[in-house]
Amino acid sequence: MADKVIISNRAALIAKYGSAGLRKINGALRRLVAADKARHLTTRVVFLDDTKAMARLGAPAVTTASSQRQNKAAIDGVFAKLTPDYLMILGSVDVIPHIDLANPVFDPDDPEVDVDEMVESDLPYACDAPLSTKIEDFIAPSRVVGRLPDVTGDDDPQYLLTLLAHAAKPVTTPSTAVSAFGVTAQLWRRSTSKSVRALFGAGTKSRSSPRLGPDWADDELAHRFHFINCHGEKRTPRFFGEVDDGREEHTDPPDYPVAHDASRIAKRIQAGTVAAAECCYGAELYDPRRQGQLPIGQTYLECGSVAYFGSTTIAYGPATTNNYADIICRLFLEGVLAGRSTGDAALTARLEYAKVAKPIDAFDLKTLAQFILLGDPSLHPVRKPKPRRSKMVAKRVGIAAAKSATVAAPSFDASAGGRQARRTRSREDAALIETTAAVACERVSGGSDVATAVAARAADAGIANPSILSFATRVGTRNAPMAATTPVPAARAVRAARRAPTGDVRVHIAIGRMNRAGTRRLKQPVAIVAQERGGQVIRVETIYGKAEAANSRRPSRQATRRG
Amino acid sequence: MAKPKLQTLVGRVVRRHVGGRSKYAHPGVVLETDAGTFVLRREGATNFVDPALVALAGKSVRVRGETDGHVLFVTSWEEA
């Protein structure tokens, strides 16, 4: 048993840094384990390619570092034996790979609409379900997982040593000192404003690009929470804004200015910062040697950020309201602000997201898979005030009575008891999702009268050359290991069963390039989504930027304001 | 993660909106080839909309670069 397990691959680390580099990393790991012990965590380091150690754990060893199948099986074996409260992946994708999951939004006939054939993800490592390429098999995570990455392709261990040192001495923020720095593409400022105000208070403003950025002042970067809602590009250490000037189409480079730039924030982010970036590729762990600059997320971590939550691939979200990337980032930050560990906040965000999406559509699936946590998952960035005895109470009733009158701030997983409660709750949530979630995931040929009608409606709505993606909806996941092993309290199960939709619905999505002529940009339809049962249309929506309609059918997804 | 592949592709460059309505949505530059469609990108380019690639629109070109999914990271090109 261990409270926290750090997993890595010894051979892969030696291949990058040599034996001398590995010795330094082991030294840094020993210091982190000692620091964890002082935090009342028993931490164990496991190299997945250590055949003897893995045999003792009854888990298969990794013989090929790049094998996703081997890594998933090895981690599942380690988890089954040690049942840790936290699992920290140590290293980038050339040490422990992401798992490639099929992107349900990818259309081979129109690949430039969403260029990602696969979604690179750590989500499967958080799930008991066996390896698969289908995201829908991993919608019910129950493990707390984060990744402390080194630099892909690097041969100097210094970056990783720095991150391990930060993890051993993390900087935390008193809950009374929480403040936020928000950056947004001007076009999405309404959506971002909703997010930051809900999270950090009504007076919180975000900076719009254009015309602000990327030369942020020190006092702007000094805020401990960063919320970024901008464009992102593959293998690029910069995020971009977009002008909102009423023009139908933007074609010029100045319309998409640099909003946030790794080279301009290096060494300037405060230790203890927590960042959530909705941007496409915001957490992509690419080899940065050709750019000569670390990716933005890894720049945050180098400065001592305790967590960076971002996407490996193209992400989605509307311009004026909240959905998809907005929602999962808000849920993550809500958890951290409430006092959860970063890993617990990521797990809770995924579970809450999956619980309230009805049905879980193709964009939801991609969102669930693509957002990953970079950082040590056992750290609690926000320090709640210690319970204090009232002097007045103490004077009147004595110390003993005053002690019983104190009210402890919520600790979530900061104690062994809290972690056990978290484990029980997350397994119950996962079991309920496995058995009751409706997922529009199984691609079927359109072919029906309804699909034809949807295509015609899309064309009428101005969606150029619409592609029709049709999905059968099913209830529950194909594999349900959590449901098989986790008893769910009867009352919760009954409530969930009542809310569960039926699985005989087909969902048809018409997407395509926008024909912008003659309409206002923000009212441009981007998709037609129709639900069909038995050949009859039971619901049809025109989605304008995936906004109002999506939110109106899932009001419980609106993240609540921080108390 | 699929290994990026270094290759040479011949096709026609077209300016086209890419990324649907995602956080990647922008006027991109696309290479249409017999092997499929690829969004062109210069690694290390500082702009989201790259003027050097925009200038290729309408031309038939031979492009050398690294494909990563349906993105082609261009290292060199010449008119075909």
Give tens-digit pLDDT for A286-331: 999 989 999 999 999 999 999 999 999 999 988 888 889 999 999 9
C-alpha angle A333/A316/A205, rounded to 5°?
Answer: 45
What is the residue-averaged pLDDT of chain A?
A: 86
**pLDDT of res. A14:** 98
> How far does the CA of residue A112 sit from the closest CA of chain B (Å)?
5
Kindly determine whether residue B69 and residue A253, on different chains, have CB atoms separated by under 8 Å. no
- B19 contacts A112? CB cut-off 8 A: yes
What is the reported pLDDT for A249?
72
Res A479: pLDDT: 72
* Residue that has been written with the tokens 């991150």 in this structure: A163
Residue (of A456, A455, A453, A450) closest to A472 by Cα position: A450
Residue with tokens 């986790």: A486
> Is the pLDDT higher at A521 or at A243?
A243
Q: Render pLDDT for A444-468 as a digit per residue (tens, 0 to 9).
A: 876 678 888 888 888 787 776 777 8
pLDDT surpasses 70 at A167: yes
Task: Convert the pLDDT of each residue in A23-54 to its tens digit.
Answer: 999 999 999 999 999 999 999 999 999 999 99
The token pair that represents A527 in the structure block: 């998709």
Cβ within 8 Å of residue A59, ≥6 positions away: A73, A74, A76, A77, A78, A80, A81
Q: Which of A99, A133, A186, A233 to mutate to test binding with chain B, by most B CBs within 10 Å of its CB? A: A233
Phi, psi of A7, deg, nearest 5: -115, 145
Q: What percent of chain A has pLDDT over 70?
A: 86
pLDDT of A546: 29
Asked if B56 and B41 touch (Cβ cutoff 8 Å), the reply is no
Taking the CA of residue A315 and the nearest CA in chain B, the distance in Å comes to 6
Predicted pLDDT of residue A549: 32
Rounded mean pLDDT of A520-538? 66
- Residue A70: the pLDDT is 98
Q: Are A231 and B21 inside 8 Å of each other by CB?
A: no
Closest CA to A385 of A177, A155, A171: A177
CA A520 to centroid of chain Cα atoms: 32
* Listed range (A228-242, A441-455, A523-537) with the worst mean pLDDT: A523-537
Among B48, B49, B67, B68, pick the best mutation site for testing chain A contact (most A Cβ within 10 A). B48
Q: Please write the tens of the pLDDT for every residue from B2-52.
A: 667 789 999 999 998 888 778 888 889 999 999 899 999 998 888 898 999
Nearest CA-CA distance, residue A251 and chain B, Å: 6
What per-residue confidence (pLDDT) applies to A517? 43
Residue with tokens 């056990």: A420
The interaxial angle of helices A189-200 and A325-338, nearest 10 deg, is: 20
Cα A513 to chain centroid, rounded: 27
Helices (H) and strands (E) in chain B, counts: 1, 5
A316 Cβ neighbours under 8 A, 6+ residues apart? A323, A324, A325, A363, A366, A367, A546, B21, B22, B23
Q: How confident is the model at residue A502, as a pLDDT?
A: 58
**Between residues A53 and A435, the one the model is more confident about:** A53
Give contacts of B28 with chain A, Cβ < 8 Å.
Answer: 112
Contact between A409 and A387 under an 8 Å Cβ cutoff? The reply is yes
Touching check for B72 and chain A: CB below 8 Å? no
In order of A101, A234, A438, B5, B28, the CA distances from A285 in angstroms are 16, 10, 32, 18, 23
Give the mean model confidence (pLDDT) for residues A540-556. 42
State how far the Cα of A104 lies from the Cα of A81, in Å rounded to an integer. Answer: 33
Cα separations in angstroms, A136 against A154, A315, A363: 34, 17, 12
Answer whether A115 sits within 8 Å of B73, measured CB to CB. Answer: no
State how far the Cα of A534 lies from the Cα of A2, in Å rounded to an integer.
51
Q: Which of B15, B16, B26 sits opposite A231 (nearest CB)?
A: B26
- Split at pLDDT 50, 70, 90, the class of A264 is very high
Tokens of A151: 């630099």
| pLDDT the model gives residue A86 | 98
SS (H, E, C) A348-397: HHHHHHHHHCCCECHHHHHHHHHEEEECCCCCCCEECCCCCCCHHHHHHH
Q: What is the pLDDT of residues A392-407, one digit of tens each?
A: 544 544 444 444 444 4
Residues A252-274: what's their mean pLDDT?
A: 95
Say yes or no to pLDDT of A203 above 60. yes
Q: For residue A359, say if its preceding peptide bond is cis, omega within 30 degrees of 0.
A: yes
d(CA A452, CA A462): 16
CA distances from A461 to A287, A446, A527, B8 (A): 42, 19, 9, 39
* pLDDT at residue A221 greater than cutoff 90: yes
The answer, for B79 touching chain A at a CB cutoff of 8 Å, is: no
B48-52's contacts with Cβ under 8 Å and 24+ in sequence apart are: B48/A231, B48/A233, B48/A240, B48/A253, B48/A256, B49/A251, B49/A252, B49/A253, B49/A255, B49/A256, B50/A253, B51/A253
Per-residue confidence (pLDDT) for residue A179, from 0 to 100: 96
Residues of chain A found within 8 Å of residue B44, distances taken between Cβ atoms: 290-292
Residue A418's nearest CA partner among A339, A334, A332, A487 is: A339
Cβ of A115 within 8 Å of Cβ of B24? The answer is yes
Q: Residue A440 — φ and ψ, nearest 5°? A: -90, 90
- pLDDT value at residue A513: 56
Q: How far apart are CA A157 and CA A150, in angstroms?
A: 8
Radius of gyration of chain B (CA): 12
Choice among A114-123, A149-158, A515-524, B71-80 with the minimum mean pLDDT: A515-524
Contact A479, A137 (CB under 8 A): yes
Comparison of pLDDT for A35 and A390, the residue scoring more: A35
pLDDT at A226 exceeding the cut of 70: yes
- Report CB contact under 8 Å: B70, A230: no
ipTM of the complex: 0.90
Q: How confident is the model at residue B47, as a pLDDT? A: 87
Chain A touched by B65 (CB under 8 Å) = no
| Minimum mean pLDDT range among A87-91, A329-333, A369-373, A421-425 | A421-425
Q: What is the mean pLDDT of residues A354-364?
A: 87
One-letter amino acid of A544: Y
CA–CA dist A444, A300 (Å, integer): 42
Q: Which residues of B touch A113 (CB under 8 A)?
A: 18-20
Closest residue of chain B to A233, computed from CA coordinates: B24
Dist. CA A531–CA A486, nearest whole Å: 33
Q: In the prediction, which pLDDT does A512 show?
A: 65
- Write out chain A residues lying below 8 Å of B50, CB-based: 253
Give the number of other CB atoms < 10 A from CB of residue A202. 8
Q: Does residue B35 sit at the A interface (CB-CB below 8 Å)?
A: no
